[in-house]
Structure 1
Amino acid sequence: MKKWMIVLLAMIIVMPLSSDLYAASKKKKKKGTATATLPAPKKVSPYEKLLKGKNVETSKSDFITLHKVGSKLYFEIPLKYMEREILLASTVTNVTSPEFCDIGYKANNPLHLKFTKRDSSIFLRYVSTGVTTDNLQKAMNNVYGDPILYAYDVKAYNPDSTAVVIDMTTLFTTNVKDLSFFADAMMGGMVKISSSFKKEASYLDEIKAFDDNLSVKTVMSYGVSLSVMGMMKLMDDYPFTATVTRSILLLPEDKMIPRISDSRVGIFNSTKTRLSITKEDEIGNYSVAHRWRLEPKDVEAYKRGELVEPVKQIVFYVDDAFPELWKEPIRQAVTTWNAAFEKIGFKNVMVAKDFPKDDPDFDPDNLKYSCIRYVANSTANAMGPSWTDPTTGEIINASVLVYGNIIQLINNWRFVQTAQLDPSVRGKKLPDDVVKASLIYVVAHEVGHCLGFMHNMASSAAFPVDSLRSASFTQKYGTTPCIMDYARFNYVAQPGDKGVKLTPPNLGVYDEFLIKWNYQYIPGTRDEWEEQPIVEQWVDEHAGDPIYRYGRQQIQSRYDPSAIEEDLGDDPMKASEYGVKNLKYILSNLQGWIKDDPDYSHRQALYGQIMTQYYRYLKNVMYNIGGIYLTEVKEGTPGKRYEAVPKARQKASMAWVLKQFKSMDWLNNAELKAHFPLSVDGSAIVRSRVAGDIQGLIGNVILSSHVASSPYSINEFMTDLYNGTWSNLLQGKALTEGDKILQNTMVDMVCASLNDGGTKKSASPFGFVPSVDEIVAYGLDESGLISRFADQFRAVDEEYGRGYVASNMVADQFGTPGYGWQRTVATTAIDDSKAYLQDMAVKSRNLLRSKIGGMSGNAKVHYQALLIKLNNALKDKL
């Protein structure tokens, strides 16, 4: 039978049977109980599966909603915020030890970022803002894109598909370098911090989300080691735990108009490159000033000259951890700047508020809030960093950190600089009114940094020295035109000067100018380039006026004697002469003025401060020797870019320093020293520092004489040094301790010039680079690390040459040429000092040979040793 016939027959047989079975089942159901249809199982969405359950903590907002699921952290990001610019910052909230970082401080600049979406991936990108253009946008986009920092898989969409969920755990719970809160190294790598992150001892903590920001706290643990030069280990695997707050702030889409910087004005700035073919025939650099966005609520009233409030005030929150006595002067330090803002048409700009007590939204470590924080450690300092929108320079956040030992610093300043005239500062504890007034000055200075203002170290040089002894002058102007200088207190005023103001002004003339230049609202301008000629003209109007001169801080090289820290007046020699007289008076009364000091520890600390202050007076004058005045000058306006200190002033300064060098035995107060621990005389310590600094003068004398029309030449400098060193022998006078130290130093210096081999350096090769003692005396290291480990760093300088530590200090540069720290000028091509040093060696040997025959006792032993050293160095050379 055919196969198809068999299949057909089978179908005919089966079909009636199937129909009967179906009919039977229908009849059976009618006779029995009705059965309900079971619903299909509900499908669980990836969103619910990921974020529903008992172990989920959610902080919801219109911006980014945070979900903490066990040890995981998820961001729920609305798609409308893709491509929006944000700042991500890391702030230390609390620590187990204050050695490595400061609470309330952001060790790194906030990251300028944005989220972008492509298919099922979310990218976190850096936002590139360093290059701008007005007519080459396509070309710029081709080569200056936004690099991808991290990539994330989309884990889920929210129920209405308007937001994506991504896993951000790693960014907040691992040791991400960009969010580190302490550096791997400091001081140019000389101080190395090595840390081993302990992931098992770290965890997510509190999460908060708001409509324009969020914060995530993480507890992070490390083992930390600290070493100097890889040789001296200061700490090894020290256990350390910190709670760190990472905050994200949404930046406005409507950007502030930047303000183009002017290198003649001391304002922090950010450098940019401009691609353009219409303005200049080159790709050029420019910089934008750092400033808060300050716009009038009522523009028309502002134009009419009425005082108006800003659209957004500048608010600082004052830490509730401060001692009660400090809080009001700190608030006053903030609002004192309002007087300057009123002069440009704004009222109530600066606001100081206490930390809110019952506001769950407030977090002092969130990037949204600017705060004045109390850092409870032994550092005697304060600082005022700020952070900006890199696109425009708009200051988004700022902090003032006031360290626990700041009152000790104020106490030291007030005693050694004003105790000759002010009986109220002669005790162990300053009276409340002095503490308050001093805190206003210190904190107002730091608030100035938070407003974008740099140090202006030339400001105090605008005032004549003798004006600082005038009651009428000082009551009006204080000690300086600018509190952004390190002018401190009036050490020029003498006992008996009546009514003289001893403190800097709350605000000086130059401070008011800074507010005008950085914050004056200019209606009607379309962009920063239309504003530029207007603000530039404001500086032009004051060019050549010393009160409006900006002197940048000199860290790695110190050439300009008119732009240094801790000085007063336009004549360092006259000011220092007054200061030395006051120190002698203070020291002679130190024993009787200080009470309740049975172990003499307070007197000993003040004695050390007197030595340091005296060293500053000597250094202030030494900067004249080989000094060069440096001023930023625009073509067509008064002034010179650089100008050597006049020859007569350099010679007089050299004579003054050598005279002080030999006559500082007044420091050796035997009555006090008998109560101090075992130590050498104070004069020996200061002489040792100054003797080393004299060697460092050579490079500056070379450069200064090179640019001078009537130079103080290296030959004249060496001749003056020779005559000063051997004056007792040349004049037939007895040998003194001062003579011995100076002569030993000079002989070592000239002998080093005769060594062709690789001996240790006798002078820095970097120009007038400060020594460790200068760094400490002038507060050049704001971290305080060098002060704390001064002996170790002195050993480094001793090993590698004076100035080596300073030459390795990391110094930020701010924008266009003329900003940032003064850099070193190489003098190798014009350095002929070796010949003159060798000539001094020959002359010194000949002098000793001619005089030593008539000597005896200690003098003969001293000169004999020097002659042997010179003979050994000169052997077979002449």
Structure 2
Amino acid sequence: MKNNILLYIVLCVFCLSSISMYAATDKKKKKNVKTEQTEEQKQPVKKISKYAKLFKGKSHEIAKSAFLTLHKVDGKIYLEMPLATMGREMLIAATTTETSDNLVATNGYKCNDPIHTYFTLKDSTVQMHQINAQINYNSTDKRIARVVEQNYLNPVIEGFKVLAYSEDSTAVVFDMTSMFTGGNAKVSPVSRGSFPLIIKASVNKSLSSVETIKAFEDNVSVKSSLSYKVSAKYLKNSLFEDKPLTIKATWSILLLPEERMHPRVSDSRLGVFLTMKQQLPTDKDGFKNYSLANRWRLEPKDMEAYKRGELVEPVKPIVFYLDNLFPETWQVAIRKGILRWNKAYEKIGFKNAVQVLDFPTNDPNFDPDNLKYSCIRYVPSMTQNAMGPSWVDPVTGEILNASILIYSDVAKMLQIWNFVQTSQLDASVRSKEMPIDVFQDALAYVTAHEMGHCLGLMHNMGASSAFPVDSLRSVTFTQKYGTTPSIMDYARFNYVAQPQDKGVKLTPPELGVYDEYAIKWLYTPIPDAASLEEENRILESWIDEKVGDPLYRYGKQQVASRYDPRALEEDLGDNPMKAGDYGIKNLKYILSHLNEWIQNDPDAEFRQQVYDQIVTQYARYIQNVVYCIGGIYLNETKEGTLEKRFQPVPKERQKAAMQWVMKQLRDMDWLDNEKVCSKFKLQMKQSAVLKQAIASIMTKLYNNVTLSAYLAGKNSYSLHEFFDDYFKGTWDAAINSRRLTMSDKLLQKEMLGIMSKSIAFIGGQKLETGFTSSLAYLPSIDEICWYGLDETGIVPQYADVLKQQEKESGLNYGVEVMMEEVCLGYGYGWQNTIRTQVIDESSTYYYDMARKIKSLLEKKIPSVHATDRQHYQAMLFAVKQILAE
């Protein structure tokens, strides 16, 4: 029994153990099954990076370059910038590609300078800096380096949130869409105008979008469609408000090279565009302002061959691409004008330095609006002009991009120029149709002039004054030299040549001697110079050699004020009176034959255009002489040379000029040719309009004479002589008992207007009949129109409006401010207008003149012709009021 109980216990233990073991095995099996099912049903997912999320499931285009990658993602532009690119200098520029209004957005033109920038990463933000490249300093001087760090930070102008790092963490991605949809006014493709024309454009971001992206080795580009509301004001007058504007723009981001071009320090005796610099002071001196000459990076491929005097090609030629929208006949002339500059480069050892290529038709990478391509663009516009702007590396002055914009109506301008300036001798231009060869020669000249700007040359308005006037009638002289030593002058065509001067060259030269001289100075490599200072000494010596030779003299353009009668636009020769006499003879000859020469002109529209230009041309001849009265010759000089910085025009020439102008004012009626003018619509006789304009200018000349006489000293054309000549010329009819003319009346009324204001200063009575200014050498509205001084190109259209503004607000608000605003920052700067109040004695002379006029009229009125008496009585009444009698 006991044994049975023991056996039962053993069996129970065994059974329980077996059940436990089975239960554990079954539980483990179930656990394993459950694990296997989970792995099959759900694989573990890798975490998606922020970088991948930016593009996943979205419309995504990529344009990748070595320094930057563009991503276009659902209409946004992301920049992927390697950390290695951070801190590298770049340029960002916008160019108009298509436009609905080429007044405010012109195809191919960068109306705002590129932004000079670099990017840095700070925490989770990419910062965009604007570089202060004007400051230069000795980087090896630790003290100066600290000064720069503390005082000349490159300001942060934009900030962009980092959206993600690249998968390998070597680059960051950020959204820069706002830059390419008009969000940064500094690099807007829309012009802001310049005073007095102010343009305001507000972008409509809801109607703006990015379109395409491209990437190249050292630049990327984005094309955008932009919509604006544009308003324009001319002084206080609204021209238009909220005018819709749609453009397509190309934005370029260009990586600047780390190995920069060797800079060349400028010399003010040679006219080149400049990059301004400021050298920080050392312990021995103060700030030093200087400038670098803007030029292309032109280096010989084979320096040893170059040193041996062989012609060599440059490492990188200057290449321009020619727009295929030009008519074929235009393309031929444009190529000729561009390539003529190779003659100057060959003289300094380069061959094929300048090249012209067609717009490629099968190159997907070509984009005429990309900052990498310099192009010659066709602009359909009523503007009769062309222009040649360029853009540079702000550190060295290296020209990186340039454009030549040729407006379609330049053809009309060339036709009128040829007719009015050369038809006395060239029968082929005496019609509505200009011969193709004449047109091509003229267009080649215009293109070559603009190409000169693209190569770095400024206007040299003093060039044409180097030639004796009579030399312009010489066949041998003109065939060799043309009309000027520089095509960078506005010398135009040979209006001096007379109808009998057969064989005389009527056009400017292909290149003048000054032009070749300027290219030599600007581009000749000087490889053996051990330092920048040594190179400067060599370059300076080249200019020193030419000091005193008028063929090489640089006369900078005068815009804000006009002192030097040798440095004018639209003039020829060294004597404006003699050149004017020849020119006036030709104008009279042309006007007398106008009806005969111009046929098939039923509405007289073309005759009207020619006639208007004849009047303008005549006005220039007179004004060229007016500038001699109180004129001051200005010279760019260097210490130690014999030339004087400034020198008043000799007394004899000033006096002769005064008499010449007064004679012209009495002899303008030839302009009112009845046979010609009867064909036109009702209008004021142009002789009267011109007489009033010149008479108004004459009233202000005392300011110029005041300064000129003050500088000249004893041997001057004094204020006393000026006022005596002015009195005699204005009151000649009364003095010599002859009948009054319209000119006499205009001169007398204008004189009393200025006289009243001057004498009121010392207690006399002011009459509200005139307007003047105490600013010397300031151009009038008429002069701005005659000489094309208005950079906006809009003054001639609104001249009457501006004249009214002058009368209401004064010259300080009108012309002076306009000219200073328009010309700010060009070249070597402009001669400021001089205020002459401190030395102004005009009130004394006007008082004396008023007494003489009163005495003269009281004596003459009883005996003058009855039709003249009322005018003289009115003038006597005015003089008595002025004298407070």
- TM-score normalized by the length of structure 2: 0.94
Q: Deviations over 1:662-716 (max 9, x none)?
A: 0111111111221111112121011011111111212111111011141101111
Aligned-pair CA distance for 1:137: 2.7
Q: Deviations over 1:767-810 (max 9, x none)?
A: 11111111111111132111222221222233334575331222
Alignment of 1:42-57 (within 5 A): 42-57=46-61
Q: Deviations over 1:610-668 (max 9, x none)?
A: 00000000000111100000001112223111111110110001000000100111111
> Does the residue aligned with 1:75 lie in a helix, a strand or coil?
strand
Moved more, 697-706 or 757-766: 757-766
> Does the residue aligned with 1:359 lie in a helix, a strand or coil?
coil
CA distance in 1, matches of 2:414, 2:21: 107
Q: Deviations over 1:819-838 (max 9, x none)?
A: 22222122221111121122
CA distance in 2, matches of 1:727, 1:759: 25
CA distance in 1, matches of 2:252, 2:29: 72
Partner of 1:110: 114
Mind listing any 5+ residue stretches in structure 1 that lack a counterpart? 1-15
Does 2:817 align with 1:827?
no
Q: Deviations over 1:508-553 (max 9, x none)?
A: 0000011011101010335433311111111111111111111111
Maintained 8 Å contact 2:486/2:512: yes
Partner of 1:701: 705
> Does the residue aligned with 1:455 lie in a helix, a strand or coil?
coil
Partner of 2:301: 297
AA aligned to 2:354 is M
AA aligned to 1:567 is D
Partner of 2:735: 730
Partner of 1:516: 520
Moved more, 567-576 or 841-850: 841-850
In structure 2, which of residues 716, 719, 726 is the aligned counterpart of residue 721 of structure 1?
Answer: 726
> Does the residue aligned with 1:295 lie in a helix, a strand or coil?
coil
Does 2:848 align with 1:848?
no
Alignment of 1:142-541 (within 5 A): 142-187=150-195, 190-230=196-236, 232-277=237-282, 281-541=285-545
Judged with a 3 Å threshold, the aligned counterparts in structure 2 of structure 1 residues 19 and 715 are, in CA distance, closer, same or farther, namely farther
Maintained 8 Å contact 1:761/1:801: no
AA aligned to 2:549 is D
Aligned-pair CA distance for 1:276: 4.1
Alignment of 1:82-101 (within 5 A): 82-101=86-105
Does 2:871 align with 1:871?
no
Maintained 8 Å contact 2:311/2:346: yes
CA distance in 2, matches of 1:573, 1:680: 28
Higher CA-based Rg: 2
Partner of 2:5: none
Aligned-pair CA distance for 1:191: 2.8
Aligned-pair CA distance for 1:813: 4.9
Does 2:149 align with 1:141?
yes
Judged with a 3 Å threshold, the aligned counterparts in structure 2 of structure 1 residues 32 and 179 are, in CA distance, closer, same or farther, namely closer
> Does the residue aligned with 2:310 lie in a helix, a strand or coil?
coil
Aligned-pair CA distance for 1:214: 1.1
Q: Deviations over 1:381-418 (max 9, x none)?
A: 01111111000111111111111110111111111110
CA distance in 2, matches of 1:41, 1:761: 89
Does 2:69 align with 1:61?
no
Aligned-pair CA distance for 1:845: 1.6
CA distance in 2, matches of 1:34, 1:820: 85
CA distance in 2, matches of 1:259, 1:52: 52
CA distance in 2, matches of 1:181, 1:469: 48
AA aligned to 2:252 is S
CA distance in 1, matches of 2:436, 2:734: 55
| Matched residues, number | 856
CA distance in 1, matches of 2:767, 2:157: 47
Judged with a 3 Å threshold, the aligned counterparts in structure 2 of structure 1 residues 30 and 386 are, in CA distance, closer, same or farther, namely closer
Judged with a 3 Å threshold, the aligned counterparts in structure 2 of structure 1 residues 82 and 196 are, in CA distance, closer, same or farther, namely closer
Aligned-pair CA distance for 1:142: 2.6
Maintained 8 Å contact 1:482/1:511: yes
CA distance in 2, matches of 1:812, 1:509: 28
Maintained 8 Å contact 1:753/1:834: yes
Aligned-pair CA distance for 1:54: 4.2
Judged with a 3 Å threshold, the aligned counterparts in structure 2 of structure 1 residues 59 and 18 are, in CA distance, closer, same or farther, namely farther
CA distance in 1, matches of 2:530, 2:250: 38
In structure 2, which of residues 547, 552, 561 is the aligned counterpart of residue 557 of structure 1?
Answer: 561
> Does the residue aligned with 1:703 lie in a helix, a strand or coil?
helix
Partner of 2:12: none
Judged with a 3 Å threshold, the aligned counterparts in structure 2 of structure 1 residues 57 and 33 are, in CA distance, closer, same or farther, namely closer
Partner of 1:749: 754
Maintained 8 Å contact 2:322/2:377: yes
CA distance in 2, matches of 1:161, 1:852: 98
> Does the residue aligned with 1:808 lie in a helix, a strand or coil?
helix
CA distance in 1, matches of 2:352, 2:103: 38
CA distance in 1, matches of 2:641, 2:20: 111
Maintained 8 Å contact 1:92/1:243: yes
Maintained 8 Å contact 2:564/2:634: yes
CA distance in 1, matches of 2:20, 2:660: 126
Partner of 2:13: none
> Does the residue aligned with 1:754 lie in a helix, a strand or coil?
helix
Alignment of 1:463-862 (within 5 A): 463-709=467-713, 710-756=715-761, 762-801=771-810, 805-809=814-818, 810-813=821-824, 819-862=828-871
Maintained 8 Å contact 1:61/1:209: yes
AA aligned to 1:215 is S
